[in-house]
Amino acid sequence: MIQTNYLIIGSGVAGLTFALKIAERFPDKKITIVTKANADESNTKYAQGGIAIVTDKEEDSYQKHIEDTLICGDGLCDRSVVEMVITEGPKRLKELIEWGAKFDKNVEGTLDLGKEGGHSENRVVHHKDQTGQEIQRAILSQVHKKENISVLDYHLAIDLITENNRCFGAYVLDEKTNEILTFKSDFTLLATGGIGHLYGHTTNPVIATGDGIAMAFRANAIIKEMEFIQFHPTALYDAKTGTSFLISEAVRGFGAYLRTKNGHRFMPDYDSRGDLASRDIVSQSIDLELKKSGDECVYLDCTHLDMDAFKKHFPMIYERCKSLGIDLAKDWIPVVPAQHYLCGGIVVDKTGKTSIENLFACGECSRTGLHGANRLASNSLLEALVYSDKIYNYLANTSFDKSQFDHTVSDWKLVEKPSINQYFVAKRKAELQLLMRQNAGIVRNDADLLKAKEKLTLWKNEIEEKIKSHQINAELCELQNLITIGTLIVQQSIDRNENRGGFVKI
């Protein structure tokens, strides 16, 4: 058994910033971060656009950012949470800069602020088109300097240890040795990111399999609003590999146009904001256009833009397109919507507490009330930074009864069992992804959802039997988690009877 004071599951911006703050405040406490891939592999790393923060008080205001967020959330945001997160933005940005994160500046030497869909003003602080990667780099370098933080990569948390609605740590699979380790912890933080690989066509990295939400659900935590899934309107369409590479919304903010293959600019047909409508509107409009035409993709036209300025702002996007033979000065980028972000998740209060004692959640796996029915672009990194700070402040400034941590935790009983057939796992995962894309995608209906529920119930029972009778490995655990998440999304989609934000049922 491994004892630690703080167990953090996940190594994105949410988990890392909490670890850094708590380690500085309590140098005598032990902080353990477990992450199932490299420490720098997370959804944070793939966030291109930036962080939405009000920094220019002459042109912009907190009130404008609050209203933009509420409009995007379509009546389901918690206003007090929106106000709290947005007004704390500048403090969290200052911290990032102090930790060494670098953000783009304009010729006057002030922050170069981008504009994205749904925003009324330029307020997106960015580092070219690799903002998440830059933040991750800066924070990880600080984390590695702290002697009381251990980072264990290739360690997959497989289940929380709970009793009487209290969390005492987690069972963790060492993916290199296949040993299941028991971590006993005073406090556990789930910062496990999103669910993209439930859909396959996603902008998320392969690690995004909803592990934290699935574990929390098995431990009876409250999970809400899983039906609100954001599909990014513009993922690069590559017929050979499926979709994965994100073409940032900031490209449309920079002036690019969406077109059908015949050249028609269709977004003004759907919304007065045209190409800068919010993501849900743009994704649903593209979905409708593709259903009407039978085409596999639409196109993003950058040919009229200043290419030198484009390369400076979006070097990664420019190079990726070039590597696929797309010359942006002459060619349009083929794009389709792809799963991008989950707005619901593990319900937390304003201090990041879940419904289970001593269990906290932060970042994309949590449901804070900020996003409502649809997340405003670039509010996700902001939410992760603010909530990791809230959790830190709560734990640093609250006195706890020591007796609540006195609990005997049993080690995982290891019994020799046969290995699972990997072909079975890969086949079932592909079938699951196809089912979710077809039956629980951008536009849903009850008949398809009920068929999906029936199939998911069969698969859930099947996977539970496989886990009992086979050696546990990472792929088997992830498949179980994906089936759990799929079931939650489908059931909560059936339960919702009104269309809001990113949720459309016909």
So which residues are the catalytic ones?
A: 279
The token duo for 308 is 């030198």
The HSE-up count of residue 150 (CA atoms within 13 Å, CB side) is 14
* Secondary structure element (H or E) that encloses residue 324, with its range: none
Residue type, 277: A
The HSE-up count of residue 226 (CA atoms within 13 Å, CB side) is 28
The token duo for 353 is 């507490």
Q: How many CB atoms lie within 10 A of CB 129?
A: 24
The token duo for 418 is 């046969």
Quick check: 370 and 379 in contact, CB under 8 A?
yes
Which ranges constitute the DSSP H helices of 373-421?
Answer: 380-397
CA 456, 342, 214, 460: dihedral to nearest 10 degrees?
0
What is the C-alpha to C-alpha distance for residues 73 and 88, in angstroms, rounded to an integer? Answer: 19
CA 430, 433, 435, 440: dihedral to nearest 10 degrees?
180
Residue 252 phi/psi, 5-degree rounding, is -70, -35
In the numeric block, the tokens 């830190």 are attached to: 392
Residue 220 phi/psi, 5-degree rounding, is 75, 25
* Secondary structure element (H or E) that encloses residue 109, with its range: none
Which neighbouring-strand residues pair with 334? 299
Quick check: 346 and 190 in contact, CB under 8 A?
yes
- Give the start-end residues of each E strand in 453-505: 504-505
